[in-house]
Structure 1
Amino acid sequence: MGNLKKDSLSLVETIALSAAVMGPSVSMALNVSLITGLVNYSVTLTFLISVLITFCVSTAIIKFNKMFSTSGSLYKFTEYGLGKKMALVSGWALLLAYFTLVVGVSGVLGSYVSSLLGMAHIHINWLPISVFLSLIMWVLAYCDIKLSTRVMLALEGVSISLVLILAVVIFFKVGFHGMSFAPLGIGKNSFAVIGQGVVMGLLSFAGFECTSALGEETKSPTKLIPRVIIGTISGIAIFFLISSYSQVIGFGITPSGIKSLSTSTMPLSDLATKYISTKYAFLVALALTMSLFSCVIGCVCTGARILFSVSRDGNIHKGLSNVHPKYKTPHISVNTIMITALLIQIVFYTLTRGDGNLLYTYNAYVTALSMLVAYMFVNASGIVYFYKNKHWKMYQLIIPIISIIAMLYAAYSNIYPIPPYPMNLAPYITVGFILIMVILSRLTKHEVVPQNEDQEWDLPGGA
């Protein structure tokens, strides 16, 4: 067993994990094309709605982080209001979201590196590249988290800077006459279609709460973590709106432009080639590979801590709650996630011969739906816990209630009308995984040895 390394992470390192898991430049490279294929021109409107929903969803999560420091993230927060059984549903949904991100983003990483090597006339399939890089990411997640976060921050900082420079160049070259309100309008889309796009927009914000899993390792967690969540959402929201708008007008507000954007596997590199140079396009692609790399590490680190917390509570094999004696990381949980992710990538390629980008697309719907489940449960928990304990008055329940309604509609929009195969399997995979893991939790439940884990902080004046 053992405890994670207390007070080992500073503000900068906590920000690093949050930025890496959200992978803003990765989201702009992958999700804008997916959203365009759903909502046509209305891409930036979709992100704007996603921003508003994310801020609403974050209210309860921020409040919990002001009161508790834990490695269990939303899993533990759900327990405080809804009890242990509902917490398991939330915990397994959240773990599924991070795990599918590890699998999908690893696949894209392999494809991006394969494309980069192809530019140099070196042709290697994405799978061996993904496997090789996964081994490196495995080592970083296994070792001291301070090392992992520093690597993540440096890589993400470079990629965001290059994407922002590209956006500025696009704005300058298209000029005022090339600007349009179309990306901010609803166009000919139905509300159901916008709802489908919003789920993919929310996917871009997936992981904004990841620093909640660092509650036992961050200095002054009840102060730093809420600030990191608010600051990260705000900064990345601005980045998303700028970059998504620049991509739409960069490809052009025409049917052919929208079609090109929706079908592009490397839209940012395509735009860099068009508006700057092939050399800059190469730099952008290289930066995105670095961002993908840091995103996977961040998702492994977060997912492992959730799995560690579930095990420490006696809900899955106790070996998963072991802490490395030297690095103080949940190394068994890290190993479990990485081995399983590698096996899925190998099986996927063996059965389909599909590329890594396709693996991400298939995983994205499961990631989005499982995140929605976890976010709905934690908001419901917040309503119960904070009202019952008089931390919130009746009117303060409006925001989490709005959050739950918005997420329910977004989830429903991705179930009906039924999306095409294999995306239509996402609800069944999500619900099936959660049910199987809840049953497994009951079968492998073990006695809990008291640990120095979650800490509760009393807030003056019901803050």
Structure 2
Amino acid sequence: ARRAAVALIILEGLAVVVMISLAVAVIWRVLHGHGPQGVPPLIDLFIPTRGLTPASIALALSFGFLSFAGFEEVATMAEEVRSPTFTIPRVLLGTVIGGGVVYTLVTTAQVLGFGTDQAGMERFAASHSLLGDLGGIYFGKWCGDLLDILATFSALGCGLASVLGASRVLFAMMRELAPTSRLARLSAGGSSPVIASLCVIVAIIAGYAAMRLVFHGSGSDPFFWASTIGVLALLGAYFLVVLSAGISVFRDSLSKKRWMILIPAIAAAVIGYTLWVNIYPLQRGAYGIIPFIVLGWCLLPVLWMAIPPKSK
């Protein structure tokens, strides 16, 4: 786990430093009149575009949820931290705050860098590598290529983080359900669930192969299909979290805290509406089937809990 953490810090840390540097440089150039619109259109960052509907905002929120996805994975490392009750909450809070600052800065650079007018937004929407294209526009092709390479490293880091989190969850589940299983064992050194990690990697490869061979997806289709599954599953998980938080507050015997139920209620309404906009109306092809896959996956633990335990 320590080696994986070091690899993550190196991969993601380098990418984040370069990404922030590029964002600051682009904003600086735009503020000095070198942007696509000449005069910096800062006010456009705070004024919604005409005709913007709540559904459009909800779809944009999906991008926001996906951007923050994964911050909660640090909780899966609690058993490998010396002082989890002290470290984990602070890391979670720091990740959310730090991620919010970084994403706000980078998104500002992207919007100003491409331009806030209609032509700029069309270029923004058509870009397959926002930071890579920005680097190429403002600092030359070499910068765009460098950002694309770092984006690849960052993607590898995200994959490694996903394997770390999923393997710990699988290990914890099997430790409760089947303590004698090899999936419930740690490595020889007693630090990492190696077998669980290998199972997660095999499942990832099998899923990618199935999407390519069985469903005849292109090279990029598995990425977008998996991302859609991830976004919908995250929205469902976050909805259940805020719902349980609201129930907990409602059951609190201290009446002075009852007003706090407004916080999870508002969050549940926003997440629920965002989830609905992403599902309805159903799309054609794979994107019309994905919501039902996510629904079935989310119902599995409910069905499992509904099965009465066998009497000994």
Q: TM-score, normalised by structure 2?
A: 0.86
Secondary structure of 1:167's counterpart equals helix
Contact 1:318 1:446 in 2 (8 A): no
Report deviation, 1:167: 1.3
Report deviation, 1:440: 6.9
Matched, 1:334 2:197: yes
> Which residue does the alignment assign to 2:286?
422
Contact 2:252 2:258 in 1 (8 A): no
Report deviation, 1:248: 1.7
Tell me, in whole angstroms, the C-alpha distance in 1 between the residues paired with 2:236 and 2:303.
Answer: 18
Contact 2:249 2:258 in 1 (8 A): no
Contact 1:315 1:442 in 2 (8 A): no
Tell me, in whole angstroms, the C-alpha distance in 2 between the residues paired with 1:348 and 1:147.
Answer: 31
Unaligned runs of 5+ in 1: 1-144, 448-463
Contact 1:316 1:441 in 2 (8 A): no
Task: Please tell me the root mean square deviation across aligned C-alpha atoms, in Å.
Answer: 2.7
Secondary structure of 1:155's counterpart equals helix
> Which residue does the alignment assign to 2:25?
169
Matched, 1:397 2:261: yes
Secondary structure of 1:326's counterpart equals coil
Q: Match for 1:366 among 204, 207, 229?
A: 229
Residue-by-residue CA offset, 1:161-203 (whole Å, 9 max, x unaligned): 1111211221122226133333433322210121111122111
Tell me, in whole angstroms, the C-alpha distance in 2 between the residues paired with 1:264 and 1:411.
Answer: 25
Contact 1:196 1:410 in 2 (8 A): yes
Percent identity reads: 24
Contact 1:316 1:446 in 2 (8 A): no
Q: Match for 2:43 among 159, 181, 189?
A: 181
Amino acid at match of 1:373: G
Matched, 1:274 2:137: yes
Report deviation, 1:247: 1.0
Report deviation, 1:259: 2.1
> Which residue does the alignment assign to 2:62?
199
Higher relative contact order (CA 8 A, sep 6+): 1
Contact 2:183 2:193 in 1 (8 A): yes
Contact 2:80 2:191 in 1 (8 A): no
Rg larger for = 2
> Which residue does the alignment assign to 1:354?
218
Residues 341 and 266 (structure 1), Cα distance of their counterparts in 2 relative to 1, 3 Å cut = same
Report deviation, 1:263: 2.1
> Which residue does the alignment assign to 1:46?
none
Amino acid at match of 2:171: F
Aligned pairs for 1:100-119 (under 5 A) are: none
Report deviation, 1:386: 5.8
Residues 318 and 366 (structure 1), Cα distance of their counterparts in 2 relative to 1, 3 Å cut = same
> Which residue does the alignment assign to 1:412?
276
Tell me, in whole angstroms, the C-alpha distance in 2 between the residues paired with 1:157 and 1:229.
Answer: 17
Worse-superposed segment, 316-325 or 332-341: 316-325
Amino acid at match of 1:354: S
> Which residue does the alignment assign to 1:156?
12
Q: Match for 2:155 among 267, 292, 299?
A: 292
> Which residue does the alignment assign to 1:308?
171
Secondary structure of 1:260's counterpart equals helix
Q: TM-score, normalised by structure 1?
A: 0.59
Residue-by-residue CA offset, 1:243-287 (whole Å, 9 max, x unaligned): 112112212223332222212222211110110122222221222
> Which residue does the alignment assign to 2:186?
323
Residue-by-residue CA offset, 1:365-385 (whole Å, 9 max, x unaligned): 211111122222223333344
Aligned length in residues: 301
Residues 248 and 341 (structure 1), Cα distance of their counterparts in 2 relative to 1, 3 Å cut = same
Contact 2:178 2:184 in 1 (8 A): no
Tell me, in whole angstroms, the C-alpha distance in 1 between the residues paired with 2:274 and 2:290.
Answer: 14
Amino acid at match of 2:148: A
